[in-house]
Structure 1
């Protein structure tokens, strides 16, 4: 039986061998595709399963680390700004004149509203899991609610230490990518797609 992915496999075969894992890693950086999706795509494309899984993990983990580092800096800045405002407010009335700027919100489409509603639902679910299971448990089950990049940003914004977020998001990425890669390899072997 020939593979239904024959055209994709031919495309992957035409790429230089060093670019194949790079393509999988780049796919792993995309939210909702992530390490597990990119590894499965790589395996279905004919890339060695271990190489595809490692490349997917590397791409997903790199994007999570970047989100955590950037999110941590943003959070530190916001916390410092709030602390400065509180300090100024507690010293009494100030004489500086402040101006306010009113910005109009862009009109949301139905698709935007639906997407925001799904994300809000995912964030609420993630918050419950964080309270109930802590960072380790929430990190491992979070892919059911949100992509790892959004989960990592949520954890950092919640005040979880960046090292702890990176550690447990890394564990989750490795675990889920390995499971999905094994399943993809099983499907390829089951149907004899080479």
Structure 2
């Protein structure tokens, strides 16, 4: 049985190799917007597809960040609408919500943003942070830092592996 994420990755890799060079970074940026592929996965797709590592990393990170910013801004609007409509009455938190809030209180926005990609896509973490009331610009700034960090780390690792093997 095939894995949908690996099928998607292979599809993006095939697409990168099939389009003209000037379009390849756009494909990598689109891949970066996909949860579970993220900026770091998109950079890997681009590098393996033959794009210069710096171009692949920037394209993947930008695609991921644009998607995260859209999610954060949408989540902020939804939160405002729900809290305005609901007023002070709140429903009891779910177990998942309690787990997230415990991590948030332990690590704060920086910690959840920087460590979150180890467990969840940045889009999910960003939406969760925003839904708890963290200001959208703060969420976007810390998610941007996380995206740049993880995309850079993976880009350096993949580039090093490719150079070592070649």
Q: Same fold (TM over 0.5)?
A: yes
Within 5 A, what are the aligned runs for 1:99-114? none
Of 20, 25, 35, the match for 1:31: 35
Q: Which residue is equivalent to 1:133? A: 107
| Contact preservation (8 Å) 2:16, 2:27 | no
Deviations 1:96-145 (A, max 9, x none): xxxxxxxxxxxxxxxxxxxxxxxx76x66543321111101110000122
1:82 deviates by 1.1
| Distance across 2 between alignment mates of 1:47 and 1:76 | 42
| Distance across 2 between alignment mates of 1:181 and 1:13 | 19
Q: Which residue is equivalent to 1:52? A: 56
Structure 2: where are the runs of 5+ without partners? 1-11, 90-94
Q: How many residues align?
A: 150
Q: Which residue is equivalent to 2:80? A: 76
Q: TM-score, normalised by structure 1?
A: 0.72
Q: TM-score, normalised by structure 2?
A: 0.83
Considering fraction of residues, name the structure with more helix. Answer: 2
| Distance across 2 between alignment mates of 1:73 and 1:171 | 23
| Distance across 2 between alignment mates of 1:10 and 1:69 | 32
| Distance across 1 between alignment mates of 2:84 and 2:15 | 51
Deviations 1:29-71 (A, max 9, x none): 0000000000011111110000000000000000000000000
> 2:35 aligned with 1:61, yes or no?
no
> 2:151 aligned with 1:177, yes or no?
yes
Structure 1: where are the runs of 5+ without partners? 1-7, 87-119
| Distance across 1 between alignment mates of 2:39 and 2:74 | 20
Q: RMSD of the alignment, in Å?
A: 2.0
Report which of the two structures shows the higher radius of gyration computed on alpha carbons: 1
Q: Secondary structure at the match of 1:18?
A: helix
